[in-house]
Amino acid sequence: MYQLVSALGKPFVGSARWQPAEIGELTMLTLYQTYRKVYAVLTNEFIEGQVCLDLESIRGDYVTSELTFNEMLAALGNQALPTTDQLPELKTRYAKYNDARRAYTITPVPPFAAPDAELPESEKTWLFLQRKPRSAAGPAFDYEYFYKHCLVSVNGFYHRTDFSAQGAYVVEGDVSRKLSKRDQLGILSFREIGELEFVAITPEMVYKQSEEQSLRHRTYIDVGVDLAGKTPMLVLGGYLHAMDSTILRVVGDQHLMVSVENLPLFERYYESRPYIDLSELPVETSTNNPFQIAVDEFLSDDCLRAYFSLPQSFVVLVKNEDMFADLEVLQKVPEPGKHTSYTRPEYPMVAGYGFSPNYWAVKEDGQYAISTHDTLYRYRVFNTTDPYKQVSLDDSMVSGEAETTRNAHFLKIGADLLF
Protein backbone atom coordinates (compact mmCIF):
# COMPACT_ATOMS: atom_id res chain seq x y z
CA MET A 1 0.00 0.00 0.00
CA TYR A 2 1.15 3.53 -0.79
CA GLN A 3 2.01 5.98 1.99
CA LEU A 4 2.21 9.77 1.56
CA VAL A 5 5.61 11.28 2.40
CA SER A 6 5.27 14.86 1.17
CA ALA A 7 3.77 16.94 -1.61
CA LEU A 8 4.40 20.10 -3.62
CA GLY A 9 1.45 22.06 -4.99
CA LYS A 10 0.84 25.11 -7.14
CA PRO A 11 -2.43 26.79 -6.01
CA PHE A 12 -4.86 28.68 -8.20
CA VAL A 13 -4.92 31.71 -5.87
CA GLY A 14 -2.50 33.62 -3.67
CA SER A 15 1.11 33.69 -4.79
CA ALA A 16 0.40 30.81 -7.21
CA ARG A 17 3.94 29.57 -6.55
CA TRP A 18 5.00 26.02 -5.85
CA GLN A 19 4.89 25.33 -2.12
CA PRO A 20 4.77 22.40 0.32
CA ALA A 21 1.19 21.10 0.43
CA GLU A 22 -0.54 19.24 3.24
CA ILE A 23 -2.83 17.10 1.09
CA GLY A 24 -3.37 13.93 3.15
CA GLU A 25 -6.70 14.95 4.71
CA LEU A 26 -8.01 16.97 1.76
CA THR A 27 -10.64 15.38 -0.44
CA MET A 28 -9.67 14.72 -4.03
CA LEU A 29 -12.38 17.14 -5.16
CA THR A 30 -10.91 19.89 -2.95
CA LEU A 31 -7.39 19.12 -4.16
CA TYR A 32 -8.32 19.61 -7.80
CA GLN A 33 -10.25 22.77 -6.96
CA THR A 34 -7.41 24.23 -4.87
CA TYR A 35 -4.28 23.34 -6.82
CA ARG A 36 -3.36 23.87 -10.43
CA LYS A 37 -0.77 21.11 -10.13
CA VAL A 38 0.32 18.68 -7.38
CA TYR A 39 3.24 16.25 -7.13
CA ALA A 40 3.02 13.74 -4.28
CA VAL A 41 6.02 11.77 -2.99
CA LEU A 42 5.01 8.26 -1.93
CA THR A 43 6.47 5.03 -0.57
CA ASN A 44 5.23 1.49 -1.07
CA GLU A 45 6.40 -1.68 0.66
CA PHE A 46 6.71 -3.36 -2.74
CA ILE A 47 8.80 -0.56 -4.26
CA GLU A 48 12.36 0.34 -3.33
CA GLY A 49 12.80 3.99 -2.37
CA GLN A 50 10.40 6.86 -2.96
CA VAL A 51 8.32 7.57 -6.06
CA CYS A 52 6.44 10.57 -7.43
CA LEU A 53 2.80 10.81 -8.47
CA ASP A 54 1.54 13.63 -10.70
CA LEU A 55 -2.09 14.03 -9.62
CA GLU A 56 -2.95 15.17 -13.12
CA SER A 57 -2.38 11.58 -14.27
CA ILE A 58 -5.34 10.33 -12.18
CA ARG A 59 -7.64 13.34 -12.55
CA GLY A 60 -10.16 11.48 -14.69
CA ASP A 61 -10.76 8.89 -11.96
CA TYR A 62 -10.88 11.19 -8.93
CA VAL A 63 -11.73 14.76 -9.92
CA THR A 64 -15.16 14.57 -8.18
CA SER A 65 -14.23 12.10 -5.43
CA GLU A 66 -15.04 12.89 -1.79
CA LEU A 67 -12.33 10.52 -0.59
CA THR A 68 -9.40 12.17 1.12
CA PHE A 69 -6.02 11.62 -0.49
CA ASN A 70 -5.01 9.17 2.26
CA GLU A 71 -8.33 7.34 1.93
CA MET A 72 -7.80 7.09 -1.82
CA LEU A 73 -4.39 5.50 -1.25
CA ALA A 74 -5.85 3.04 1.25
CA ALA A 75 -8.67 2.10 -1.11
CA LEU A 76 -6.16 1.20 -3.82
CA GLY A 77 -4.80 -1.71 -1.85
CA ASN A 78 -2.14 -3.33 -4.02
CA GLN A 79 -3.15 -1.56 -7.24
CA ALA A 80 -0.37 0.40 -8.93
CA LEU A 81 -0.35 4.13 -9.60
CA PRO A 82 1.37 5.81 -12.60
CA THR A 83 4.38 6.96 -10.58
CA THR A 84 7.94 7.81 -11.61
CA ASP A 85 11.29 7.45 -9.88
CA GLN A 86 12.14 11.11 -10.53
CA LEU A 87 11.32 13.08 -7.37
CA PRO A 88 10.34 16.76 -7.50
CA GLU A 89 12.99 19.17 -6.29
CA LEU A 90 12.15 22.84 -5.95
CA LYS A 91 14.85 25.19 -7.27
CA THR A 92 14.13 28.89 -7.47
CA ARG A 93 15.99 30.88 -10.12
CA TYR A 94 15.91 34.60 -10.95
CA ALA A 95 16.50 36.89 -13.91
CA LYS A 96 19.74 38.74 -13.24
CA TYR A 97 20.73 42.32 -14.12
CA ASN A 98 24.12 43.73 -15.04
CA ASP A 99 25.66 46.80 -16.61
CA ALA A 100 26.28 46.09 -20.31
CA ARG A 101 29.50 48.09 -20.45
CA ARG A 102 31.23 45.71 -18.08
CA ALA A 103 31.33 42.99 -20.73
CA TYR A 104 30.37 44.51 -24.09
CA THR A 105 31.63 47.12 -26.51
CA ILE A 106 28.83 49.35 -27.77
CA THR A 107 28.93 51.01 -31.19
CA PRO A 108 26.35 53.15 -33.05
CA VAL A 109 25.41 51.52 -36.38
CA PRO A 110 22.76 51.77 -39.11
CA PRO A 111 20.12 49.00 -38.91
CA PHE A 112 21.75 45.56 -39.36
CA ALA A 113 25.06 47.12 -40.45
CA ALA A 114 28.52 46.13 -39.28
CA PRO A 115 30.24 48.51 -36.81
CA ASP A 116 32.90 49.44 -39.37
CA ALA A 117 30.40 50.31 -42.12
CA GLU A 118 31.30 53.66 -43.66
CA LEU A 119 27.86 55.26 -43.65
CA PRO A 120 26.62 58.73 -42.63
CA GLU A 121 26.29 59.40 -38.91
CA SER A 122 22.63 60.30 -39.43
CA GLU A 123 21.90 56.70 -40.46
CA LYS A 124 23.38 55.24 -37.27
CA THR A 125 20.17 54.83 -35.30
CA TRP A 126 20.83 51.42 -33.71
CA LEU A 127 23.46 50.19 -31.26
CA PHE A 128 25.69 47.18 -31.82
CA LEU A 129 26.86 45.08 -28.85
CA GLN A 130 29.89 42.81 -29.04
CA ARG A 131 31.21 40.69 -26.20
CA LYS A 132 34.66 41.73 -25.01
CA PRO A 133 37.03 38.80 -25.63
CA ARG A 134 37.94 36.81 -22.54
CA SER A 135 40.86 35.06 -24.22
CA ALA A 136 42.19 34.74 -27.74
CA ALA A 137 41.55 30.99 -27.77
CA GLY A 138 38.06 31.16 -26.31
CA PRO A 139 34.94 29.94 -28.19
CA ALA A 140 32.94 32.35 -30.33
CA PHE A 141 30.19 34.14 -28.41
CA ASP A 142 26.68 32.94 -29.30
CA TYR A 143 24.67 36.09 -30.09
CA GLU A 144 21.56 34.12 -30.98
CA TYR A 145 21.61 32.68 -27.46
CA PHE A 146 22.08 36.21 -26.08
CA TYR A 147 19.10 37.44 -28.12
CA LYS A 148 16.88 34.59 -26.90
CA HIS A 149 17.70 35.09 -23.23
CA CYS A 150 18.27 38.81 -22.62
CA LEU A 151 16.42 42.12 -22.48
CA VAL A 152 18.42 45.30 -23.10
CA SER A 153 17.63 48.69 -21.60
CA VAL A 154 18.95 52.05 -22.73
CA ASN A 155 19.01 54.60 -19.90
CA GLY A 156 16.39 52.57 -18.05
CA PHE A 157 13.98 51.93 -20.94
CA TYR A 158 13.81 48.53 -22.63
CA HIS A 159 14.23 48.38 -26.42
CA ARG A 160 13.66 45.66 -28.99
CA THR A 161 16.75 43.74 -30.05
CA ASP A 162 18.03 41.63 -32.92
CA PHE A 163 21.24 39.76 -33.69
CA SER A 164 23.75 38.60 -36.27
CA ALA A 165 26.67 36.20 -36.08
CA GLN A 166 28.92 39.13 -35.11
CA GLY A 167 26.84 40.89 -32.45
CA ALA A 168 23.52 41.98 -31.01
CA TYR A 169 21.52 45.01 -32.17
CA VAL A 170 19.47 47.42 -30.03
CA VAL A 171 16.70 48.85 -32.18
CA GLU A 172 16.68 52.68 -32.13
CA GLY A 173 19.19 52.50 -29.29
CA ASP A 174 21.38 55.28 -30.64
CA VAL A 175 18.33 57.50 -31.20
CA SER A 176 17.66 57.21 -27.46
CA ARG A 177 21.31 57.74 -26.62
CA LYS A 178 21.57 60.95 -28.65
CA LEU A 179 18.23 62.28 -27.41
CA SER A 180 19.09 61.84 -23.73
CA LYS A 181 22.82 62.51 -24.08
CA ARG A 182 23.33 59.44 -21.89
CA ASP A 183 24.52 55.99 -22.89
CA GLN A 184 23.87 53.69 -19.97
CA LEU A 185 22.90 50.18 -21.06
CA GLY A 186 21.64 47.37 -18.87
CA ILE A 187 21.15 43.68 -19.57
CA LEU A 188 18.49 41.56 -17.89
CA SER A 189 19.34 37.88 -18.37
CA PHE A 190 16.72 35.10 -18.27
CA ARG A 191 19.35 32.41 -18.83
CA GLU A 192 18.36 30.47 -15.71
CA ILE A 193 14.61 30.82 -16.30
CA GLY A 194 13.80 30.17 -19.93
CA GLU A 195 14.09 31.17 -23.55
CA LEU A 196 12.52 34.43 -24.72
CA GLU A 197 10.40 35.02 -27.79
CA PHE A 198 9.84 38.61 -28.92
CA VAL A 199 6.76 39.90 -30.74
CA ALA A 200 6.92 43.42 -32.16
CA ILE A 201 3.52 45.13 -31.87
CA THR A 202 2.08 46.64 -35.04
CA PRO A 203 -1.00 48.90 -35.18
CA GLU A 204 -2.95 46.08 -36.86
CA MET A 205 -2.41 43.82 -33.83
CA VAL A 206 -4.04 46.33 -31.46
CA TYR A 207 -7.82 46.21 -31.20
CA LYS A 208 -10.84 46.81 -28.97
CA GLN A 209 -13.90 44.66 -28.36
CA SER A 210 -16.34 47.02 -30.10
CA GLU A 211 -16.40 50.39 -31.84
CA GLU A 212 -18.19 51.88 -28.83
CA GLN A 213 -15.19 51.15 -26.61
CA SER A 214 -11.94 53.07 -26.35
CA LEU A 215 -8.36 51.84 -26.15
CA ARG A 216 -7.81 54.22 -23.23
CA HIS A 217 -9.62 51.75 -20.97
CA ARG A 218 -8.76 48.29 -22.25
CA THR A 219 -6.52 47.47 -25.17
CA TYR A 220 -6.32 44.02 -26.75
CA ILE A 221 -3.34 42.58 -28.62
CA ASP A 222 -3.50 39.72 -31.09
CA VAL A 223 -0.02 38.32 -30.52
CA GLY A 224 -0.31 35.98 -33.48
CA VAL A 225 1.38 33.02 -31.76
CA ASP A 226 0.10 30.37 -29.38
CA LEU A 227 0.60 31.38 -25.73
CA ALA A 228 0.35 27.83 -24.35
CA GLY A 229 3.30 26.91 -22.14
CA LYS A 230 4.58 30.50 -22.03
CA THR A 231 4.43 33.41 -19.63
CA PRO A 232 3.75 36.74 -21.38
CA MET A 233 5.34 40.00 -20.31
CA LEU A 234 4.76 43.42 -21.85
CA VAL A 235 7.19 46.23 -22.53
CA LEU A 236 5.19 49.39 -23.19
CA GLY A 237 7.04 52.59 -23.97
CA GLY A 238 10.15 51.04 -22.43
CA TYR A 239 8.40 50.06 -19.16
CA LEU A 240 8.43 46.35 -18.29
CA HIS A 241 5.28 44.68 -16.93
CA ALA A 242 6.03 41.23 -15.52
CA MET A 243 3.37 39.01 -13.94
CA ASP A 244 1.14 41.98 -13.05
CA SER A 245 -2.50 40.98 -13.50
CA THR A 246 -3.66 44.57 -12.88
CA ILE A 247 -2.05 45.48 -16.21
CA LEU A 248 -1.71 42.37 -18.38
CA ARG A 249 -3.91 39.28 -18.76
CA VAL A 250 -4.18 36.38 -21.15
CA VAL A 251 -7.69 36.34 -22.64
CA GLY A 252 -7.33 33.79 -25.43
CA ASP A 253 -5.03 31.30 -27.09
CA GLN A 254 -3.07 34.18 -28.64
CA HIS A 255 -4.71 37.29 -27.22
CA LEU A 256 -3.69 39.64 -24.40
CA MET A 257 -5.64 42.38 -22.62
CA VAL A 258 -3.91 45.49 -21.29
CA SER A 259 -5.73 47.53 -18.64
CA VAL A 260 -4.57 50.91 -19.92
CA GLU A 261 -6.76 52.69 -17.37
CA ASN A 262 -4.43 51.38 -14.63
CA LEU A 263 -1.31 52.89 -16.21
CA PRO A 264 0.11 56.29 -15.20
CA LEU A 265 0.16 57.38 -18.85
CA PHE A 266 0.67 61.11 -18.38
CA GLU A 267 3.39 60.66 -15.77
CA ARG A 268 5.18 58.18 -18.02
CA TYR A 269 4.93 60.46 -21.03
CA TYR A 270 6.83 63.23 -19.24
CA GLU A 271 9.20 60.84 -17.47
CA SER A 272 10.24 59.01 -20.65
CA ARG A 273 10.19 61.97 -23.05
CA PRO A 274 13.83 62.95 -22.34
CA TYR A 275 14.96 59.35 -22.96
CA ILE A 276 13.03 57.85 -25.90
CA ASP A 277 11.74 59.36 -29.14
CA LEU A 278 7.99 60.03 -28.82
CA SER A 279 7.77 62.28 -31.88
CA GLU A 280 5.80 59.64 -33.83
CA LEU A 281 2.86 59.94 -31.45
CA PRO A 282 0.08 61.84 -33.26
CA VAL A 283 -0.31 64.48 -30.57
CA GLU A 284 0.35 68.14 -31.21
CA THR A 285 2.14 70.36 -28.73
CA SER A 286 1.46 74.03 -28.17
CA THR A 287 3.50 76.53 -30.22
CA ASN A 288 4.16 78.53 -27.06
CA ASN A 289 4.76 75.51 -24.86
CA PRO A 290 6.29 72.40 -26.47
CA PHE A 291 5.45 70.38 -23.35
CA GLN A 292 1.72 71.10 -23.46
CA ILE A 293 -0.50 68.33 -24.85
CA ALA A 294 -4.26 67.96 -25.33
CA VAL A 295 -5.64 65.26 -23.02
CA ASP A 296 -8.24 63.82 -25.41
CA GLU A 297 -5.77 63.76 -28.29
CA PHE A 298 -3.18 61.94 -26.18
CA LEU A 299 -5.77 59.35 -25.08
CA SER A 300 -7.18 58.86 -28.57
CA ASP A 301 -7.14 55.43 -30.23
CA ASP A 302 -4.71 56.67 -32.89
CA CYS A 303 -2.22 57.92 -30.31
CA LEU A 304 -2.41 54.77 -28.20
CA ARG A 305 -1.95 52.54 -31.25
CA ALA A 306 1.18 54.53 -32.05
CA TYR A 307 2.37 54.20 -28.43
CA PHE A 308 1.89 50.42 -28.55
CA SER A 309 3.91 50.35 -31.80
CA LEU A 310 7.03 52.16 -30.55
CA PRO A 311 10.42 50.40 -30.80
CA GLN A 312 10.18 50.33 -27.01
CA SER A 313 6.82 48.49 -27.04
CA PHE A 314 6.72 44.73 -27.57
CA VAL A 315 5.54 41.45 -26.11
CA VAL A 316 8.02 39.10 -24.46
CA LEU A 317 7.05 35.43 -24.19
CA VAL A 318 9.03 33.39 -21.68
CA LYS A 319 9.02 29.65 -22.29
CA ASN A 320 8.24 28.84 -18.68
CA GLU A 321 4.83 28.68 -17.02
CA ASP A 322 6.08 28.67 -13.42
CA MET A 323 7.07 32.31 -13.08
CA PHE A 324 6.49 34.98 -10.45
CA ALA A 325 7.60 38.51 -9.62
CA ASP A 326 8.56 39.75 -6.16
CA LEU A 327 9.51 43.25 -5.04
CA GLU A 328 12.35 44.07 -2.67
CA VAL A 329 11.98 47.63 -1.40
CA LEU A 330 15.14 49.71 -1.20
CA GLN A 331 15.76 52.12 1.65
CA LYS A 332 15.93 55.79 0.71
CA VAL A 333 18.74 57.96 2.02
CA PRO A 334 18.85 61.79 2.08
CA GLU A 335 21.47 62.10 -0.66
CA PRO A 336 19.85 62.36 -4.15
CA GLY A 337 20.26 59.31 -6.35
CA LYS A 338 21.14 57.07 -3.41
CA HIS A 339 19.45 54.02 -1.90
CA THR A 340 20.52 51.22 0.40
CA SER A 341 20.15 47.47 -0.11
CA TYR A 342 20.76 44.82 2.52
CA THR A 343 20.98 42.02 -0.03
CA ARG A 344 23.33 41.54 -2.96
CA PRO A 345 22.18 43.81 -5.81
CA GLU A 346 21.78 41.55 -8.85
CA TYR A 347 18.23 42.38 -9.98
CA PRO A 348 16.80 45.21 -12.10
CA MET A 349 16.00 48.35 -10.13
CA VAL A 350 12.60 49.98 -10.67
CA ALA A 351 12.03 53.63 -9.84
CA GLY A 352 9.76 56.51 -10.76
CA TYR A 353 6.72 55.32 -12.67
CA GLY A 354 8.27 51.98 -13.57
CA PHE A 355 11.48 52.60 -15.50
CA SER A 356 14.61 50.58 -14.73
CA PRO A 357 17.64 52.87 -14.30
CA ASN A 358 21.16 51.55 -14.40
CA TYR A 359 22.76 51.54 -10.98
CA TRP A 360 26.12 51.08 -9.35
CA ALA A 361 26.58 49.27 -6.06
CA VAL A 362 29.34 49.54 -3.45
CA LYS A 363 29.43 47.33 -0.37
CA GLU A 364 29.82 49.34 2.81
CA ASP A 365 29.56 48.05 6.38
CA GLY A 366 27.68 44.90 5.44
CA GLN A 367 25.18 46.67 3.17
CA TYR A 368 25.18 48.06 -0.35
CA ALA A 369 25.11 51.72 -1.37
CA ILE A 370 23.09 51.98 -4.60
CA SER A 371 23.66 54.96 -6.91
CA THR A 372 21.60 55.94 -9.96
CA HIS A 373 21.57 58.92 -12.31
CA ASP A 374 17.95 59.99 -11.67
CA THR A 375 15.79 59.04 -8.72
CA LEU A 376 14.17 62.39 -7.95
CA TYR A 377 10.41 62.74 -7.71
CA ARG A 378 9.06 65.85 -9.41
CA TYR A 379 5.81 67.39 -8.18
CA ARG A 380 3.96 68.40 -11.33
CA VAL A 381 0.88 70.59 -11.29
CA PHE A 382 -1.31 68.00 -12.97
CA ASN A 383 -0.61 65.59 -10.09
CA THR A 384 -2.63 67.90 -7.83
CA THR A 385 -5.78 67.41 -9.94
CA ASP A 386 -7.49 64.67 -11.94
CA PRO A 387 -5.58 64.93 -15.23
CA TYR A 388 -8.25 62.97 -17.10
CA LYS A 389 -10.70 65.81 -16.48
CA GLN A 390 -8.37 68.48 -17.87
CA VAL A 391 -8.34 69.89 -21.40
CA SER A 392 -4.55 70.03 -21.60
CA LEU A 393 -1.47 69.32 -19.50
CA ASP A 394 2.16 70.32 -19.36
CA ASP A 395 5.15 69.48 -17.21
CA SER A 396 4.92 72.53 -14.92
CA MET A 397 6.25 71.91 -11.43
CA VAL A 398 4.39 72.78 -8.24
CA SER A 399 5.88 76.02 -6.96
CA GLY A 400 7.77 75.74 -3.70
CA GLU A 401 7.83 71.92 -3.64
CA ALA A 402 11.30 70.46 -3.41
CA GLU A 403 12.31 67.42 -5.44
CA THR A 404 12.61 64.35 -3.25
CA THR A 405 14.17 60.92 -3.69
CA ARG A 406 11.68 58.49 -5.17
CA ASN A 407 10.73 55.13 -3.79
CA ALA A 408 12.55 52.32 -5.58
CA HIS A 409 12.73 48.55 -5.46
CA PHE A 410 14.41 45.55 -7.02
CA LEU A 411 12.18 43.56 -9.35
CA LYS A 412 12.86 39.86 -8.72
CA ILE A 413 11.51 37.96 -11.70
CA GLY A 414 11.82 34.30 -10.87
CA ALA A 415 10.73 30.78 -11.62
CA ASP A 416 10.24 27.77 -9.40
CA LEU A 417 11.85 24.95 -11.32
CA LEU A 418 10.99 21.33 -10.56
CA PHE A 419 12.94 18.13 -11.24
**For 51-80, how does the pLDDT look when each residue is reduced to its tens digit (9 = 90+)?**
999 999 999 999 999 999 999 999 999 899
Instruction: Count CA atoms within 13 Å of residue 121 on its CB side.
Output: 1
3-state SS, residue 252: strand
Instruction: With respect to residue 275, please indicate whether it lies within any of the assigned structural domains.
Output: no
Whether residue 117 has pLDDT greater than 90: no
Whether residue 198 has pLDDT greater than 90: yes
Whether residue 367 has pLDDT greater than 90: yes
Instruction: With respect to residue 365, please indicate whether it lies within any of the assigned structural domains.
Output: yes
Quote the pLDDT of residue 116: 85
Please indicate whether residue 259 or residue 384 has the higher confidence score (pLDDT). Answer: 259
Quote the pLDDT of residue 404: 73
Quote the pLDDT of residue 334: 82
Q: How confident is the model at residue 137 (pLDDT cuts 50, 70, 90)?
A: low
Query: For the segment 255-311, what is each residue's pLDDT rounded down to a tens digit?
Result: 999 999 999 999 999 999 999 999 999 998 888 899 999 999 999 999 999 999 999
What mean pLDDT do residues 110-125 have?
91
Q: How confident is the model at residue 14 (pLDDT cuts 50, 70, 90)?
A: low
Residue 309's nearest CA partner among 181, 125, 175, 172 is 172
Quote the pLDDT of residue 377: 75
Query: For the segment 325-365, what is each residue's pLDDT rounded down to a tens digit?
Result: 999 999 988 888 899 999 999 999 999 999 999 999 999 88
Whether residue 138 has pLDDT greater than 80: no
Query: For the segment 141-196, what is each residue's pLDDT rounded down to a tens digit?
Result: 999 999 999 999 999 999 999 999 999 999 999 999 999 999 899 999 999 999 99
Quote the pLDDT of residue 379: 82
From 62, 88, 114, give the residue that closes a domain. 88
Those residues whose C-beta lies under 8 Å from the C-beta of residue 330, and which sit 6 or more positions away, are 339, 340, 341, 349, 370, 408, 409, 410
Residue 303's nearest CA partner among 287, 280, 286, 276 is 280
Quote the pLDDT of residue 333: 86
From 42, 57, 88, give the residue that closes a domain. 88
Quote the pLDDT of residue 250: 96
Q: How confident is the model at residue 322 (pLDDT cuts 50, 70, 90)?
A: confident
Quote the pLDDT of residue 349: 96
Quote the pLDDT of residue 403: 67
Instruction: With respect to residue 164, please indicate whether it lies within any of the assigned structural domains.
Output: no
Instruction: With respect to residue 20, please indicate whether it lies within any of the assigned structural domains.
Output: yes
From 65, 88, 111, give the residue that closes a domain. 88
Instruction: With respect to residue 82, please indicate whether it lies within any of the assigned structural domains.
Output: yes
Instruction: With respect to residue 340, please indicate whether it lies within any of the assigned structural domains.
Output: yes
Residue 367, CA distances (Å) to 95, 324, 406 in order:
22, 26, 20
Name the least confident of 211-225, 312-326, 377-391: 377-391
Q: What is the mean pLDDT of the chain?
A: 93
Report the percentage of the chain scoring pLDDT > 70.
98
Query: For the segment 202-224, what is each residue's pLDDT rounded down to a tens digit?
Result: 999 999 999 999 999 999 999 99
Instruction: With respect to residue 224, please indicate whether it lies within any of the assigned structural domains.
Output: no
Whether residue 321 has pLDDT greater than 90: no
Whether residue 402 has pLDDT greater than 70: no
Quote the pLDDT of residue 249: 96
* Domain residue limits at 404: 324-411
Instruction: With respect to residue 238, please indicate whether it lies within any of the assigned structural domains.
Output: no
Q: Which residues of 70-106 are buried (b: 16+ CB within 10 A; e: fewer)?
A: eebbeeeeeeebebeeebbeeeebbbbbbebbeebeb
Rounded CA-CA distance 287/276 in Å is: 21
Domain count, the chain: 2
